[in-house]
Structure 1
Amino acid sequence: MADEANRNAFFEIQGRMIEATAKLKQVENQLRNKEKEKKRAYLTLEELKLCDDTNTYKSIGRTFVLEPKSVLMEEQEQKLKDSDTAIASLQTSKEYLEKQMAEIENNLRELLQQEPGLARQIMSMSV
């Protein structure tokens, strides 16, 4: 009876571990994308600062529309601010998920130390 409870506890912890790992990967991908977006906005903003008398165009789908330089610079600055905010939020989520993963690993380690026979059963199932 206790053996079955330990197996169920293991499978529950395993499910939580898989879920937390998937969420962590998703957050890391979102973080990478936001960092790319931020870098692109920064580089575009720097290019816009270089010259004063150049016509600037905004891409809208397949067409380009003449826009004042100030409007484009404001848009890029706003993208930078939005990216910074999103990156900070995603970083907080990542730290939380990493703590959650460490807690799940500790729970799993504790379960396997309490019941060494369970580790043998699990190893025989996976082979």
Structure 2
Amino acid sequence: MSDEANRTAFLEIKGRMIETTGKLKQVQNQMRNKEGEKKRAYLTLEELRQLPDDTNTYKSIGRTFVLEPKSGLMNEQEQKFKDSETAIAALQASKEYIEKQKAEVENNLTELLQQDPGLAQQIMSMTVM
């Protein structure tokens, strides 16, 4: 009975580990994307700042370019930069939370394997096959 309960607990912990690892990878990918957006906005702003105020600037809308005042483009890029920073901060908090969940699941798995050394041997024999 205890052996079956431990096996069930192991399968549950394994599922939680897979789930948290997937969530962590997803958040890391989102952070990487937001970092790219932030960098593009920053670089675009730096290039726009170097231009004289009376320069014709164009905004890309799909495959079309529309004449846009320099100030409008700068405001748009500044907003993108700020939005990216906000999103990165939120994703960082989410990442830390998920990392804590993952550490908790790892601790649960370690405790389970320490309680039932036979279960660890069964798991190893299943993975060797």
Normalising by structure 2, report the TM-score: 0.97
Corresponding position of 1:30: 30
> What CA deviation, in whole Å up to 9, does each residue of 1:51-106 have, x standing for no partner?
11321000011110000001000000000110010000000000001111111000
- The count of corresponding residues between Structure 1 and Structure 2 is 127
Q: Could you tell me how far apart the structure 2 residues matched to 1:61 and 1:119 are?
A: 57
Q: 1:47 corresponds to which residue?
A: 47
Match of 2:68 in 1: 67
| CA distance, structure 1, for counterparts of residue 60 and residue 11 of structure 2 | 51
Aligned pairs for 1:1-127 within 5 A: 1-52=1-52, 53-127=54-128
* Identical counterparts, % of pairs: 80
1:123 offset after TM fit, Å? Answer: 0.7
Q: In structure 2, what residue type is equivalent to 1:68?
A: P
**3-state SS of 1:81 partner:** helix
* Structure 1 unaligned residues grouped into runs of 5+: none
Q: Which moved more, 1:28-37 or 1:48-57?
A: 48-57
3-state SS of paired residue (1:54):
coil
Structure 2: gaps of 5 or more residues: none
Give TM-score scaled by structure 1 length: 0.98
Q: Which amino acid aligns with 1:37?
A: E
Quote the offset at 1:40 in angstroms. 0.2
Aligned-partner residue type, residue 72 of structure 1: L
